[in-house]
Amino acid sequence: MKLIVGLGNPGSKYAGHRHNVGFMAVEEIARAHHFGSWRKGFQGEVAEGRLGGMKVLLLKPMTYMNESGRAVGEVVRFYRLSPDDVIVVHDELDLAPGRIRMKSGGGHAGHNGLRSIMAHVGGDFHRLRIGIGHPGDKSRVHGHVLSDFSKSEQEWLQPLLEAIARHAPLLAEGRFNDFASKVMMDAPPPAAGKG
């Protein structure tokens, strides 16, 4: 079984925030692939289904971003998963808006959700990083991640989420390069300076 974790903060006031793009992505995967209903469990919300031939559990931690690892750790222990079975979908300041990049292992680069997951399951999980761009000044980062995607960003966001969902079976199969290239082909990022 594979675990795909979308990072975000619970509650309607956070729903459209850039920091919640992980939630948005796993919700789109669940919709596109007819997963079961979201239900409470493991300090989060979970939905079960299949991607390609793989059984997959989608998880949205409801612990708030900074404690995401509590929920992930519970699932990993319950199902006896290895970090290699875990894919975490999260926002990435250091990628241009609309770009994605797969990464296996590594540090947390100041992302509190990743920091928490690493504290609970180690750092050898896979990450699908979704670029939200950097506001240019460190003092503006907090406000940037905790504000809604702008109207111009919406133009690339929904096609990107749909492409991620469409090609999610490749993600579950660990075919990360194929997944990333197909998503970028279907949903190219906006030209620099746009969105």
Indicate which residues carry an active-site annotation: 19
Report whether 128 contacts 113 (CB < 8 A): no
The radius of gyration of the chain's CA atoms, rounded to the nearest angstrom, is 15
Residue 3 and residue 18: Cα distance in Å, rounded? 22
Distance set, CA 47 to CA 104, 134, 137, 141 (Å): 24, 32, 38, 31
Q: What are the beta bridge partners of residue 101?
A: 129
CB-count burial class (<10 Å; 0-12, 13-18, 19+) for 192: exposed
Write the CB contacts of 171 (distance below 8 Å, at least 6 apart in sequence): 4, 51, 87, 128, 164, 179
